[in-house]
Structure 1
């Protein structure tokens, strides 16, 4: 099983869910959910599972539970990397 670590910066309460950019090794993601009671973290896991086409159980937030900057581990046999446009 392959393990991949991603540095992610989340912007909660955005107008839509989207991968904004990959810059300096950090994946910037906008989410519509608020950063309260772990809702943004749950939404992040669900969103990552959708874009990488993997199960939510294959995604684990390693650090940054109460921060916008997170380290996320993906454990899956294979993941599909979506094309990210640099703005």
Structure 2
């Protein structure tokens, strides 16, 4: 399953939510330098979805807050978790 998200690094707390426009936004504690935020994002999303880090792959947006990720998991399970955010 492909996810398009907006990442906000340097947040006080980690969080996954939909913004007012209906876009998926992830707040993470990691700083946006030397790929730390990308690594932390993969680790965080793997924890949220209950899968290993190797099943979360950053496809595009390495230096951009708008990212495209490929999640190797059951689409129904991912959608169920995301629906709980609404």
Pairwise TM-score range, normalised by the shorter structure? 0.7 to 0.9
TM-score, with structure 1 as normaliser: 0.83
Relative to the length of structure 2, the TM-score reads 0.84
For 1:45-60, list aligned pairs within 5 A: 45-60=42-57
The 5-angstrom pairing of residues 56-67 of structure 1 reads: 56-67=53-64
Residue of structure 2 equivalent to 1:26:
23
- Give the aligned partner of residue 84 of structure 1: 85
Q: Which has the higher contact order (CA 8 A, sep 6+)?
A: 1
1:27 Cα deviation (Å)?
1.1
**What's the secondary structure of 1:9's corresponding residue?**
strand
Q: Is the contact made by 1:9 and 1:70 (CA closer than 8 Å) also made in structure 2?
A: yes
Q: How many residue pairs were aligned?
A: 81
Q: Going by fraction, where is strand more abundant, 1 or 2?
A: 1
Report how far residue 39 of structure 1 moved: 0.5
Task: Give the distance between the partners of 1:26 and 1:43, measured in 2 at CA.
Answer: 20
Give the CA deviation at 1:20: 2.7
Normalized per residue, which structure has more helix? 2
**RMSD across aligned positions (CA):** 1.6
The residue number in structure 2 matching 1:9 is 6
Give how far 1:67 is off: 0.5
Deviation at 1:25, TM superposition (A): 5.7
